[in-house]
Amino acid sequence: MKFETALIHAGQEADRSTGSVNIPVYQTSTYKQDGIGRDRGWEYSRTGNPTRKALEDCIAALEGAKYGLAFASGLAAEATACLSLLKKGDHVVSGDDVYGGTYRLFEKVFRKWGLEVTYADSKDPAAFRKAVRRNTRLIWAETPTNPLLNITDIAALAEIAKKAGALLAVDNTFATPCFQRPIELGADIVVHSSTKYLGGHSDVIGGLVAVADKGVYEEVKFHQNAAGGVPGPWDSWLTLRGIKTLAVRMQAHEANAFAIAEFLSAHPAVSKVFYPGLKTHPGHSLADRQMSGFGGMVSFELKGGRGAAEVFFKKLRIFMLAESLGGVESLACYPSTMTHASIPEKDRLKRGITGGLVRLSAGIESADDLINDLERALKR
């Protein structure tokens, strides 16, 4: 099945009892059993639910993986599917430009349980290799990164992880399986905040995981049931509905992002533009090799820092100032006080998250309207 077909059909056969072409919302917590020890394959909805199962089978197919699992949020997926696999004294090497909530999970939750985390330059596989220790059990990468759109070489990290006897987990939220399939490049676990592009309509929080290996899957599946951070059937259904149009949406997001990146690059009020599709982007050639599209996120730096940013956000009319990304509507975000506020200021600045940095999630509106909106907001 090709990707565009899998979006609509993987895990989603017509309902067996009615022929319903969409998987029903199985809004139930439990299932009648026909006798002691004779269930019909379903026992309790934390353990399994048919609507959630359709979503889990779908993400596995999209990522070219054998196994899929759904969680109540992207962070629940990270905590349950990846970090719960580790134990006290284990070491993680993470890219240094990761989602603020991921950093917070490492530093404020798991570090006090005895997990050790080292951050390596997301752009430099050699830095990851150097950071590996005898007790390294997990390598964590997010690519393209948030918010600077740096590109990490997944195949190179897969080799490093294999040599170290560690698992490689990749946060594929920004690229989606439409543009990047980490398992095919050697990753063991792919994690998504399906709140973003997969759901695609800013109406549901969720997390998805795809796993290559059966042993790892069984462990994650055990934790999913034991810790219980699962999505309800209605949220699973909404996510499935969003996924059906992922391919057409990603093309539209990308086209708009390209147009915006080119417009911003030529604008005198802008000092830097971060978009992997631009030839001037340091990760461009790697992105071109590793991804089949550059995505819909564009970040840029305003000359004039925070003051200029405040004026800019006030003047926007179509772009909404909001957290999150990946929905059909265009959003603008101010990473230093919003998504990345949990990173100490000194570390933030070191990573390039400055007072003038703005992150845009290009929606699928008319590119002309979006560019006019930016032009008006940038006018002095």
Ligand X SMILES: *Cc1c(COP(=O)(O)O)cnc(C)c1O
User: By CB under 6 A, is residue 179 in contact with ligand X?
Assistant: no
Q: Mind giving me the DSSP string for 243-274?
A: HTTHHHHHHHHHHHHHHHHHHHHT-TTEEEEE
What track of x and - describes contact with ligand X for positions 119 through 158 (by CB under 6 A)?
-----------------------x---x------------
* 9 class by beta-carbon count within 10 Å (0-12 exposed, 13-18 middle, 19+ buried): middle
Q: How far is the CB of 2 from ligand X (least distance, A)?
A: 26
Query: Residue 73, interface with ligand X (CB under 6 A)?
Result: yes
Half-sphere exposure of 167 (CA within 13 A, CB side): 21
Note whether 205 binds ligand X by CB under 6 A: yes
Q: Does the footprint of ligand X cover residue 373 (CB under 6 A)? A: no
Considering only residues 250 to 309 of the shown chain, the ones binding ligand X according to CB under 6 A are none
Smallest distance, Å, CB 359 to ligand X?
10
Q: Which of 70, 75, 198, 210 binds ligand X (CB under 6 A)?
A: 75
Active-site residues, by number, are 46, 99, 171, 196
Task: Please state, in angstroms and rounded to a whole number, the distance separating the CA atoms of residues 186 and 260.
Answer: 33
Residue 99 or 312 having the CB closest to ligand X: 99
When asked if residue 173 is in the footprint of ligand X (CB under 6 A), the reply is yes
How many Å apart are CA 217 and CA 29, to the nearest integer?
24
What gap in Å lies between CA 266 and CA 290, rounded to an integer? Answer: 27
| Cβ–Cβ under 8 Å, residues 142 and 103 | no
Got the DSSP string for 323-340?
S---SSS-EEE-TTTTTT
List 193, 299, 330, 336, residue binding ligand X (CB under 6 A): 193
The distance of Cα 77 from the centroid of its chain, to the nearest Å, equals 11
User: If binding is defined by CB under 6 A, does position 235 make contact with ligand X?
Assistant: no
96 near ligand X (CB under 6 A): no
Task: List residues near ligand X by CB under 6 A.
Answer: 73-75, 99, 101-102, 142, 146, 171, 173-174, 193, 195-196, 205, 207
